[in-house]
Amino acid sequence: MVEKAAKKTKTPRVAMPEQDPQIRARNFLEVPTGYTMKMAQEEASRCLQCRKPSCVAGCPVGVDIPGFIDLIAQGDMTGAIRNLWGKNALPAVCGRVCPQESQCEGLCIVGRKGEPVAVGNLERFCADYERENGTGELPPRGPLTGKKVAVVGAGPSGLTVAGDLIVKGHDVTIYEAFHKPGGVLVYGIPEFRLPKAIVAQEVNFLERQGVKVECNAVVGRTVSIDELFEQDYDAVYVGVGAGLPRFMNIPGENYVGILSANEYLTRANLMKAYKYPDVDTPIPIGKNVVVLGAGNVAMDSARTAMRLGAESVKIVYRRSREEMPARNAEIHHAEEEGIELFLLTNPTKYIGNEKGRLTGMECLRMELGEPDDSGRRRPVAIEGSEFEVDCDLCIVAVGSGANPLLTSETPDMELNRWGNVVTNEATGKTTKKGVWAGGDIVTGAATVILAMGAGREAADSIHDYLELGW
């Protein structure tokens, strides 16, 4: 056994084939092109099938990782997808966008001495295989309960709640403010990282199981939560996301050419403005682009700008590389595509012309001082280090706050001082009877999988409430 494990540790991980950086930097096709069956089985055979799998403990939705990987190794693809669906309603999405390196793969025993098993790549393969070659057979649904649940927001947490509750036999309707379901999966994450056809397919999978999706329904405006209860809903789940862009609050921020990442990415992704003028929504094409911030959203914005034809794209971030919140893989992809990192740099004001258009930005060089509240070393400005950066497009990707549209119309649902919904951590229950919440509106901007984990817990709690009354 020990010998076998040692051998598996030494076997290199099967690399995911990718589009060449030079080529992909100018197209919107997905960057990694996916495993073949042979590659997947080879990678699956690297799994040690640990009896106490630590990888599972690292998964916010508790996917039976050794279980589905073993089924792939055996070539039982129907069994593998069934196993995945048991814990994860959106495997094609998670296989692509989860930060596996800090979750399942980060805890993989094989990874202690060598490279961890590529759990994400295998999850993705499994979901893609089912979509392309599967039987299309639905998972079994429990006996109908006659209970009605409204899910507010068709993003990752709402879709998870809907998927969990529909198989338990409840009647589920999702209310979505945009004209398309998917939330951040359709408006935020770009096509080259998560093809929209895949999101549509995942939503369609839920619809085939009986989930109803009402788009163009802005809960808080078109209908209130109390009105949903008047329409005989027994429970409501609020998963509306963060949805309030933060800006820098420095002079000149309203010049034309400065957009929040939310706006830029929504234009590019949801409205498909990268196909303009074949579609009707325009998007500014920058020649010299600056992206402020260094999270995954900043990387997505920078890589989109490059694909839209920018001559230069710079990520401007006030801390150092170590503190960049984006996944390493995303930073690596961005750099490969020619995106420059301007680290320890802080913008102090925007510069514009007489037409009110952005022409540049004044920045200060920073150095790292003592650790701050977040435990990261605080960036301190170096006096007299001002310099100018030419730019005609700036995308502000410095995070999102809590959008008050729904919460301000629901006064009996308690909020914290940042406007996030207060919930019981284990159950997702809010202070309003019959209402649960989860995802970014509770935690502040986080990841797709954490929102899904919160959805899973809330769905369990909603099920108990509907069946047992608590």
Partner 1 sequence: MFKIVKREEMSEGTVILNEIEAPLIAQKALPGQFVILKANEDGERIPLTMADTDPEKGTVTIIYMVVGKSTALFKELQVGDSFQDVIGPLGKATHLEKVGKVICVGGGTGVAVLHPITRGLKDAGNDVTCIIGARNKDLLIIEEQMKAASHDLRVCTDDGSYGHHGFVTEVMKEILDEGDTKLVVAIGPVPMMKAVSNITKEYDVETLVSLNPIMVDGTGMCGGCRVTIGGETKFACVDGPEFDGHKVDYDELMLRLNAYREEEQKSHDHYCTIRDAK
Rounded CA gap, 47 and 250, in Å? Answer: 51
In the bound complex, what is the minimum distance in angstroms from residue 391's beta carbon to partner 1?
Answer: 16
CA nearest 16: which of 29, 1, 35, 3? Answer: 35
CA distances from 377 to 35, 317, 322, 381 (A): 40, 14, 10, 13
Tokens of 70: 């073993």
Q: Give the phi and the psi of residue 407 in degrees, each rounded to 5.
A: -65, -35
Rounded CA gap, 155 and 203, in Å? Answer: 10
Task: For partner 1, give the closer residue by CB, 269 or 345.
Answer: 269
In the bound complex, what is the minimum distance in angstroms from residue 22's beta carbon to partner 1?
Answer: 28
Q: What angle do CA 166, 171, 174 make, to 5 degrees?
A: 80
CA distances from 347 to 266, 306, 340, 382 (A): 24, 21, 16, 13
In the bound complex, what is the minimum distance in angstroms from residue 275's beta carbon to partner 1?
Answer: 8
CA distances from 175 to 98, 119, 154, 238 (A): 25, 32, 7, 10
Instruction: Return the beta strands (E) in 300-413 as ranges.
Output: 312-316, 340-342, 345-352, 358-371, 377-381, 387-390, 393-396, 400-402
Task: For partner 1, give the closer residue by CB, 22 or 222.
Answer: 222
CA nearest 220: which of 177, 161, 187? Answer: 177
Task: For partner 1, give the closer residue by CB, 100 or 420.
Answer: 420
Tokens of 30: 């997905």
Task: For partner 1, give the closer residue by CB, 242 or 466.
Answer: 242
Task: For partner 1, give the closer residue by CB, 112 or 355.
Answer: 355
Within 13 A of 136's CA, how many CA atoms are on the CB side? 6
In the bound complex, what is the minimum distance in angstroms from residue 154's beta carbon to partner 1?
Answer: 14
Task: For partner 1, give the closer residue by CB, 151 or 462.
Answer: 151
Task: For partner 1, give the closer residue by CB, 60 or 188.
Answer: 188
In the bound complex, what is the minimum distance in angstroms from residue 283's beta carbon to partner 1?
Answer: 8
Q: Summarize as ranges the residues that interact with partner 1 (CB under 8 A).
A: 177-179, 215-218, 221-223, 243-245, 247, 253-254, 256-257, 259-260, 262-263, 266-267, 271-272, 275-282, 284, 355-357, 403-405
Rounded CA gap, 116 and 129, in Å? Answer: 22
In the bound complex, what is the minimum distance in angstroms from residue 401's beta carbon to partner 1?
Answer: 10
CB 108 within 8 A of CB 117: yes
| Residue 450 one-letter amino acid | L
Task: For partner 1, give the closer residue by CB, 296 or 407.
Answer: 407
In the bound complex, what is the minimum distance in angstroms from residue 274's beta carbon to partner 1?
Answer: 12
In the bound complex, what is the minimum distance in angstroms from residue 310's beta carbon to partner 1?
Answer: 16
Task: For partner 1, give the closer residue by CB, 116 or 183.
Answer: 183
In the bound complex, what is the minimum distance in angstroms from residue 226's beta carbon to partner 1?
Answer: 13
In the bound complex, what is the minimum distance in angstroms from residue 279's beta carbon to partner 1?
Answer: 4
Longest dimension (CA), the chain: 73
Find where tokens 């971030």 sit.
317
Number of residues written out for the chain: 470
Rounded CA gap, 448 and 96, in Å? Answer: 11
Task: For partner 1, give the closer residue by CB, 247 or 387.
Answer: 247
